[in-house]
Structure 1
Amino acid sequence: MRTERIAAVLLAAGTSSRFGEEDKLMAELRGKPLAAHTLETVASMAFAELIAVVRPIEVAPVLHRKLDRRGYTIIVNDRPEDGISGSIVRAVEHVMPVNRIRGILICLADMPEVPQTHYNRICLAAEDIRSVVASTDGFSSSPPAFIGRKHFPELLALKGDQGARALLSHGLQIETTGNVLHDIDTPEDLPGWRPAPSD
């Protein structure tokens, strides 16, 4: 499916509790905030709409500014503790009335290593509104993932932090190497991370 018929949904509203005090999405990676890598890669593609689900502006002002500059529609998830499902529901509610959008591409802001080529492969593998196309490292299904419009009612019923995992596991699997799908949960997950020297 052509990207012009797909809305890209960037999920960036997590509380990142395992990362510690620092805002994970603002942690520096190769000279810029972690989230900037994904949001810039996705924004460089010709999607029908760019959507980002984020925490309120007062807790993520820099991220809001960067997304705004790149042309994202910003949807605030003021209940990030409800898990990833709450963010997906908000995004689907936003795109549902727009009939020209045939599906969504779910992207995670804490997956900085996914190249444009992989997002493209997912979109190209999606045939129609019934398609579900997930990424896999050969072991489990994960985003980035395309979910066709036919499955929107199912997405609206999601609860908790499992997201659309069950749906993705039944979809077409596009395999790539594990490091492409590496997500950052703790400071140690950052490439090149070193512990701070102790006194």
Structure 2
Amino acid sequence: MNRTGLLLAAGTSRRFGVADKLLAPLDGRPLVAHAAQAMQMTALDRHIAVIANPELRPYLDGFEIVEIQPGAQSDSLRAGLQAAGETDRLLIALADMPRVTSELLDMVVAAATDDRPAACHDLGPPMPPACFPRGWLIRLAELTGDQGAGRLIRDLPAEALVNARGLLTDIDTVSDLAKMKKTAR
């Protein structure tokens, strides 16, 4: 079985300010390095990262890099799908979720079946990281706008959802990053 990891790291960071949030330091490393390391440590055959900022490249060692112009989330997803080509499982993770672990990613891949995806939940609706089987990739390719894969995973049954145990915090603003730094102490 061919399993591919897709790290989406091409957002515009509009709510973060002028700086690229993925380069902001957290625990002594850029934000993107946390998500990249978690994905590199998973039981996957390939690792692909979609980026818009070439300054992220040094933190994505071992990834196939797809560089795009900043745009909608679905643009990043389609670029990653094209790079992935034929794969049996596609694990999608977001680069602004630094607390996601390789163990969580492996659990999401294991929860996916040939017939349905798997995703995470954490006191809310299903969300990435999510893993999609080959038969669902065409549905991902048809998505438009900034909603990403959320609409495809929102009605998953309980057995397709992995409890993320508080690991799904994402960083959208400088304030989010400050809160994360404060809780890590």
Output the TM-score relative to the length of structure 1: 0.84
Do 1:122 and 1:134's aligned partners in 2 also have CA atoms closer than 8 Å? yes
* Farther off after superposition, 162-171 or 30-39: 162-171
Indicate if the aligned counterparts of 1:134 and 1:169 stay in contact, CA closer than 8 A.
no
Question: Aligned to 1:88, which of 35, 59, 77?
Answer: 77
Q: Secondary structure at the match of 1:181?
A: coil
Q: What do you get for the CA RMSD once the two structures are aligned?
A: 1.4
| Cα offsets for 1:18-65 (capped at 9, x unmatched) | 0011210010100010110110111122311100000142xxx2x112
Higher Rg of the two aligned structures: 1
Structure 2 residue aligned with 1:197: none
Conserved? CA contact 2:111–2:161, under 8 Å: no
Structure 1 residue 137 displacement after superposition: 1.0
Shift of 1:16: 0.6
2:45 to 44, 48, 52: 48
State the alpha-carbon separation in 1 of the partners of residues 48 and 77 from structure 2: 11
Q: 2:58 aligns with which of 53, 60, 65?
A: 65
Structural mapping, 1:91-106, within 5 Å: 91-96=80-85, 98=86, 101-106=87-92
Instruction: Extract structure 1 runs of 4+ deviating beyond 4 A.
Output: none
Equivalent residues of 2:89, 2:109 under 8 A apart: no
The residue number in structure 2 matching 1:125 is 111
Identify which of 161, 165, 176 aligns with 1:189: 176
* 2:67 is the counterpart of 1:76: yes
**Any stretches of 5+ residues in structure 1 without a counterpart?**
194-199
User: Aligned pair 1:153/2:138, yes or no?
Assistant: yes
Letter in 1 for 2:173: T
> For the Cα contact (< 8 Å) 2:92–2:131, is it kept in 1?
yes
Deviation readout 1:47-100 (Å, 9 max, x if unpaired):
11100000142xxx2x11221xx210001121x22x11111111112222x3xx
**Where does structure 2 lack aligned partners over 5 or more consecutive residues?**
none
Q: SS of the residue aligned with 2:181?
A: coil
Partner letter of residue 73 of structure 1?
E
Task: Please give the alpha-carbon distance, in whole angstroms, between the structure 1 residues aligned to 2:110 and 2:16.
Answer: 34
* Residue identity opposite 1:124 in structure 2: A
TM (norm. structure 2) is 0.90
Identity %: 36
Specify the code of the residue in structure 1 equivalent to 2:4. A
